[in-house]
Amino acid sequence: MTGKLSIIVFSGTVDKLLPVGVLTTAAAASGYEVNLFFTFWGLNAIRKDMIKAQPRISKDFEDMGPMMMKMMAEKKVPSWYEMILQAREIGNVKIYACSQTMDIMNLKKTDLIDEVDDVVGAVSFLEMAQGGITLFI
């Protein structure tokens, strides 16, 4: 293992989730330990009832969204979720859900995709992230 990357996934829009997928895959392929912490709107991206839905694009890029999605489909770029699944096959990638956000949204772990490793609080995630690179996306 060459390092540690921890990503706080705050947004559930595709323009933010795609970089999460790309960075997670690149880090896993490079031997990094990767910790993903889905919180607030990012938590919606890993809900079972929303995982198959086309993620929204943020207002900043909505005009370019259809064009980008078409180009990505033509080039067979995997979805952010497919990238995460590929990264988990490559290496040490863990997915965590924020316990406080789960409580606020009245969600249970069973509401989330099966790949979620655990539901943890912010303090636990900060301890996991210590000593590595941490990104907020």
The pLDDT of residue 81: 95
The pLDDT of residue 127: 97
Q: Which residues contact 66 (CB under 8 A, 6 or more apart)?
A: none
Structure tokens given for 5: 């990357």
Tell me the CB-side half-sphere exposure of residue 107, using CA atoms within 13 A: 24
Which CATH architecture describes the domain 4-136? 3-Layer(aba) Sandwich (3.40)
The pLDDT of residue 19: 95
The structural domains of the chain, with segments of one domain joined by +, span 4-136
| Model confidence pLDDT, tens digit, residues 27-72 | 999 999 999 999 999 999 999 999 887 677 665 666 766 767 676 6
| Model confidence pLDDT, tens digit, residues 67-119 | 676 766 787 889 999 999 999 999 899 999 999 999 999 999 999 999 999 99
User: The sheet that has 118-120: what strands, in order across it?
Assistant: 118-120, 93-98, 33-38, 4-9, 133-136
Instruction: Using alpha carbons, list the distances in angstroms from residue 99 to 19, 63, 93, 96, 104.
Output: 24, 35, 19, 9, 9
Q: Judge whether residue 5 has pLDDT over 80.
A: yes
Round to whole Å and give the CA distance between 87 and 81.
10
